[in-house]
Amino acid sequence: MERTLVLIKPDAVQRGLIGQIISRFEQRGLKLVAMKFIQMDEALAARHYAVHQGKPFYPGLIAFITSGPVVAMVWEGKNAVATVRATMGVTRPWDATPGTIRGDFGLTMGRNLVHGSDSVENAAIEVALFFDDGEFVNWQRETERWIDDGE
């Protein structure tokens, strides 16, 4: 089973889209194993977006992600990283397929509603930035046999 980080960004929180976004991942069959509602500070934002440091858009990115609360979540499932990314849609909302989160709700690249880890390796790093080991809930979903065929 893979685990991946998802952040519901300040624009989605402010627009009241938290429930609809969570619902999309649940409907795909992913299992929520950790969640918190936080106000990201600049230090955490800088660690999270370290790969973009020095780029022209970096200051705006940090200002945006710290401008309001975010919902940090860890989703678990087979191919969780790829499933989350497909459910979110591509970064540029105008290129995102209808039916994806960004395709249905996004208009601009700077306000693209969600973040999802881009690889299994980065997911492990990002999850560790936001969650300690003791914050995961390991639970058995009774519908699992209807979601996972065991292959």
**pLDDT value at residue 150:** 80
Q: Which domains does the chain have, with CATH numbers?
A: 2-135 (3.30.70.141)
Question: Whole-number mean pLDDT of the chain?
Answer: 96
**pLDDT digits 0-9 by tens, 33-76:** 999 999 999 999 999 999 999 999 999 999 999 999 999 999 99
- Nearest CA to 44 among 126, 117, 110? 126
**pLDDT value at residue 149:** 84
* CB proximity list for 139: less than 8 A, separation 6 or greater: 31, 33
CA–chain centroid gap for 24, Å, is: 12
Map residue 33 onto helix, strand or coil.
Answer: strand
CA distance 31 to 100: 18
**pLDDT value at residue 36:** 98
Residue that the structure tokens 């200002």 belong to: 63
**pLDDT digits 0-9 by tens, 3-19:** 999 999 999 999 999 99
pTM flag (> 0.85): yes
Residues noted as catalytic: 115
Helix (H) or strand (E) holding 124: helix 120-130
**pLDDT value at residue 151:** 79
**pLDDT value at residue 148:** 87
119 DSSP assignment: S
| Residue 145 scores a pLDDT above 90 | no
Both tokens assigned to 96: 């995102």
